[in-house]
Chain A
Amino acid sequence: GENVEQHPSTLSVQEGDSAVIKCTYSDSASNYFPWYKQELGKGPQLIIDIRSNVGEKKDQRIAVTLNKTAKHFSLHITETQPEDSAVYFCAAKNNNNDMRFGAGTRLTVKP
């Protein structure tokens, strides 16, 4: 089955700097890669996603890149703000709706 690894487990950046979180997956049949943001006391919320037929997607300050050959994808947050502080999860899903999550990255943006 699918195995998703996520790095780093914790990340601390200064406000205004960029943050990058990386994930690798094992199942070449995976074709959908969402990223979730989980704030304290809340459930994960979808913030951006990418399908396997696209290499990069951007939405304001966040972007996701996908390298299908290497089976890895990354979340990029630019101009970080304190409200970006949260736990971020990557995930990979195949056509059987088998979605596997990474272990999460705790991002702290210091003012």
Chain B
Amino acid sequence: EAQVTQNPRYLITVTGKKLTVTCSQNMNHEYMSWYRQDPGLGLRQIYYSMNVEVTDKGDVPEGYKVSRKEKRNFPLILESPSPNQTSLYFCASSLTTASRGYTFGSGTRLTVV
């Protein structure tokens, strides 16, 4: 089944403890992106990648890192999480940058205490 898989689905962590949220797609998509969803703010882009080894900042990149060493994986790294990074995170992918809609993962609900 064609899909975007995120792990974990839920995570509670403490301030300052490094964490990684994984994202993997099995559709050979070139484009991948991370969003955070907060009430009243919709989906805001954190980072995106147009292809392997190519990553760029979105609208809210502070406090996050990403890597794209292989086409299928696009992990989101929080080196020193803070409570304002408590949010619902979504990974998305599309075939190319010119493709139409995105395929989204099921989301990761992160709580930083």
Q: Which residues of A contact B (CB under 8 A)?
A: 4, 6, 9, 32, 34, 36, 41-46, 49, 89, 95-97, 99, 101-104
Contact = CB atoms under 8 A, between A and B. Distances in A.
Interface string B6-25: 00000000000000000000
B42 A45 contact: no
Q: Looking at chain B's contact residues, is the secondary structure mostly helix, strand, loop, or mixed? A: strand
Interface in B25-50: 31, 35, 40-45, 48, 50
Interface of B: 4, 31, 35, 40-45, 48, 50, 90, 92, 97-98, 100-107
Contact of A99 (B90, B102, B103): B102
B41 A46 contact: no
Given A43-B105, A97-B50, A103 B100 contact: no
Contact of B102 (A4, A46, A95): A46
A104 B42 contact: yes
Given A34-B101, A36-B104, 4 more contacts: A6-B42, A97-B50, A99-B45, A103-B42
A43 B97 contact: no
Contacts of A36: 101, 104
B104 A44 contact: yes
Contacts of B50: 97
Contacts of B35: 101
B40 A9 contact: yes
Contact of A101 (B4, B43, B100, B103): B43
